[in-house]
A and B are shown apart, each in its own frame.
Chain A
Amino acid sequence: MSLLPSMIEIVRDNWLLLLVGQYPNGPLGGIAATLILSVLGIALAFPLSVAMALASLSPWRALRWPVMAMVYITRGVPLLLIILWVYFVLPLLIGHSVPAFATMLVTLVGYEAAFLSEIVRAGIHALPKGQMDAARALGHSRLGAMRYVILPQALFNMIPSILSQFVSTVKETTLGYIINVPELTFAAGQINNRLLTKPFEVYFILAISYFIVCWTLTQAINMVERRITARRTAGVAAASALPATAASASGA
């Protein structure tokens, strides 16, 4: 028996499970859950990460320290362990059980926020110091300068990094499997348990599914990146008759 027909057969029999899990008879799962988890994860993590980046750059130690602690923990501890930790400790803390999906979402948001906050921080640092000086000299508060001058530039420059972090997040959602979050990997596990004899085919389908999702997203990112570069060089080209200082200021 050859591989391809058997894989096609598996997909034909199980495509709904792979797409949406047991929905509407059970919880939403499959690719839909994977994407929802990723989108929600990044969407919630992003504003949090900006707040964390601002806190980590603040002159007050009480704001800097908790953020730095969180960043070091996420850098030094595998995500899987953090998931298990939240899974077992969160219910003890709040006194009742938490659905696996929510557990996974909370963990992802915290984890991605810590990562993104480092990206945001780097983006802020990458801007010329003169931008903050100019904003402060005009009378803007630190936060005002961040809001109107620094962040609009830094966040725009970071769009590609943020999107790549989204692709990583899609892959990281697979770890939800360990606490039975009904996402795509979980769906594949269910299929495999039912068929018993075709693990290679099932997990090959799973790999291809992730590949298609991530590859599509990566292509989209590349397109966005090209647009951003085009927009920047268009500005610089229009100003190409100028001294170097002007061009470098616009490259920021």
Chain B
Amino acid sequence: MIEFVAVHKFFGSLAALTDVNAEVNRGEVVVVCGPSGSGKSTLIRTVNRLEEIQSGSVLFEGKDVHAKLGGTALNRLRSRIGFVFQSFNLFPHLSALDNVMLSPMKVNGVRRSDARETALRLLDRVGLSAKAQNYPAQLSGGQQQRVAIARALAMEPPAMLFDEPTSALDPEMVGEVLSVMRGLARDGMTMMCVTHEMNFARDVADRVWFMDAGRVLETGAPVDFFRSPQHPRAQRFLSDLHSR
């Protein structure tokens, strides 16, 4: 469903992604891990073209996201790819409910009453129906991130991308966000998650991609990855993780 074909990406002379070839299948949960600066955020942001690439292609449902597209075609593609940011990026001038309702109404032309109904259902799904009228500043980090997930789901995307969704959270709030993500995985959502939560990877992921210096070095099942990582860098990454 999401396919990277010989993707190269440079920031100036810095090679951020080098010859990435990998695929996320429909219904699959892929966890992307790797050391800081290895290109995880860059990779996941190429899927909805928040980052441009210099060569290769990224296919979403068979369509080349980085082809010459009219603005509308790209917007339509993006609206079908849910994206959750490390820093939540809720719209602070809108209530939780309005954050979730905005894009279905303005991008997809959904009627207000329908958008509201969907938004309330989604806020309920992430456990926040009581906070629908609150503004982001009146919500905890974990609550904000759950609203952000509901906001992404409101576009009814066939796939969801997560870029370190729990890294900005206090430890006691990590669980509530992960449990929402587990629920999504259980319901069969196609997911690509950059995260350092190795328990989540172990329990939920179908495969773990390990990245280092802009390359995807491993794409194995979690059991294999955690028990017997092939690449020396992956071995070092895991042992560093354990010694922390």
Contacts and interface: CB of A to CB of B under 8 A. Distances in A.
A139 to B, nearest CB: 3
A235 B137 contact: yes
A197 interface: no
Contact of B85 (A134, A141, A242): A134
A138 B139 contact: no
Q: Which of A130, A138, A242, A252 has the most CB of B within 10 A?
A: A138
Nearest to B48: A137
Interface string B70-111: 011001101111010101111111000000001100111000
B67 interface: no
Nearest to B108: A139
Interface string A218-252: 00000000000000000110110111011101101
A245 B107 CA distance: 28
B91 A149 contact: yes
A138 B79 contact: yes
Nearest to B98: A148
B138 A243 contact: no
Interface string A111-155: 000000000000000001011011111111110100011001100
B168 A141 contact: no
B107 A140 contact: yes
Nearest to A235: B137
Contacts of B80: 139
A144 B91 CA distance: 14
Interface in B133-150: 135-141, 144, 148
B180 interface: no
Interface residues of B, number: 39
B41 to A, nearest CB: 11
A242 B85 CA distance: 17
Given A153-B92, A243-B170, A141 B139 contact: no
B151 interface: yes
A237 to B, nearest CB: 9
A137 B78 contact: yes
Contact of B144 (A149, A236, A246): A246
A252 B151 contact: no
Given A136-B78, A140-B106, A245-B168, A152 B140 contact: no
Contact of A249 (B78, B88, B138): B88
A137 B108 CA distance: 14
Contact of B81 (A131, A137, A144): A137
Contacts of B144: 246, 249
A156 interface: yes
B70 to A, nearest CB: 11
Contact of B87 (A136, A140, A144, A245): A245
Interface of B: 48, 50, 71-72, 75-76, 78-81, 83, 85, 87-93, 102-103, 106-108, 135-141, 144, 148, 151-152, 155, 168-170
Interface of A: 128, 130-131, 133-142, 144, 148-149, 152-153, 156, 235-236, 238-239, 241-243, 245-247, 249-250, 252
